Structure 1
Amino acid sequence: MLLNLIIGEYSMDMEIQDDYLETMTDSFDKMDREMRQGVQLGQQWVGDPTQLQRCQVAADKLLSAIENNNETLAMLTGGYIVSHLSDIKQIKINTEGEPAETEFH
């Protein structure tokens, strides 16, 4: 699957293979278990995050991974989002420190 990322004025495509998604289900499940404990979403603590909020947290980590050239974390967080939002084609990642403003299309 090709996922378009919009980061400020920058646009890039990220390819996530179906077989990668299949092999990472245990890791995605672990991420879900950890996020069920609550997440920090920008300035706000969310005790019981929705699926959308979990994906916004993952998108924020994806942004950090891209900024730090951490391909492993980028693939993990991108794969997590794709596995939870099956019809997703594009992510507009908020770069102003407000992950709750990140949009999924």
Structure 2
Amino acid sequence: MPPAENRIKLMKLNIIVDERALAVDVPPHMLREAEDFYRKMDSDMDHGWQMGPEFIENPDKEQRCQIAANKLLTSLSTANETMITLMAGYILKQLPGITGVRIDTAGEMLHTELLYEKSANAAPATASAPAASRAQKLGKLEAMEQAGKDVTKVYKVGKSHRFAVRDLKTGEWLESGPMETEQEAYEKRMQAYKRRLDELTGSSG
């Protein structure tokens, strides 16, 4: 059983808290061993959950992952490695295809963002149809503020750099591919920001 084989099988979740990022590796055997623990978690959430100021009577799959991310945040503050890995495993198990979470630290669990790896480098071309979720174009200053919210700052994951862009149609966060240098990531991020600004103002670019 070569060690490299074990490493290949690890699942990974990127965690972003404020401007800090870390990657949590989850061994597949932990997912199997934690089945009972996860069932208990789901059973508890079936009774509803206080998510910040709102009480959610029946949290859906994504909201359950936001709750797990909040537990993960608490575990980070107490350096509880086992619980960190368990919560990361729960999120990976619930949402196949997820690559990371940007955890809200202001007590608003519903604001925790779920990141999926698609092509954010080419900031959603699908959104070029007049900002589906926004009926009217924004003024320059308002658009700049909104574009800053729709395109994250560059953050580090392991040795690579990434950023994420919010898809206007689905509201999902699409994470960029890994980039070796911070400078490359900043340049790609600025390109994505400019595209989003053009979409919001109705400019052709």
Shift of 1:2: 1.4
Q: What is residue 101 of structure 1 aligned with on the other side?
A: 111
Q: What is residue 88 of structure 1 aligned with on the other side?
A: 98
The amino acid that maps onto 2:90 is: Y
Tell me, in whole angstroms, the C-alpha distance in 2 between the residues paired with 1:87 and 1:21.
16
Q: What is residue 4 of structure 1 aligned with on the other side?
A: 14
Q: What is residue 61 of structure 1 aligned with on the other side?
A: 71
The amino acid that maps onto 2:56 is: V
Pick aligned residue for 2:39 from 25, 29, 42? 29
Shift of 1:72: 2.0
RMSD: 0.9
Q: What is residue 18 of structure 1 aligned with on the other side?
A: 28
Which secondary structure does the structure 1 equivalent of 2:98 belong to?
A: coil
Compute the TM-score of the two structures, normalised by the length of structure 2: 0.50
Task: Name which one, 1 or 2, has greater alpha-carbon Rg.
Answer: 2
**Alignment pair present for 1:79 and 2:89:** yes
**Alignment pair present for 1:44 and 2:48:** no
Q: Could you tell me which runs of 5 or more consecutive residues in structure 1 were left unpaired when the two chains were aligned.
A: none
The amino acid that maps onto 1:74 is: I
Q: Could you tell me which runs of 5 or more consecutive residues in structure 2 were left unpaired when the two chains were aligned.
A: 1-10, 116-205
Q: How many residues align?
A: 105
> Any idea what the Cα deviations from partners look like across 1:50-96, whole Å, max 9, x if unmatched?
11111111100100100111112212211111110111111111112
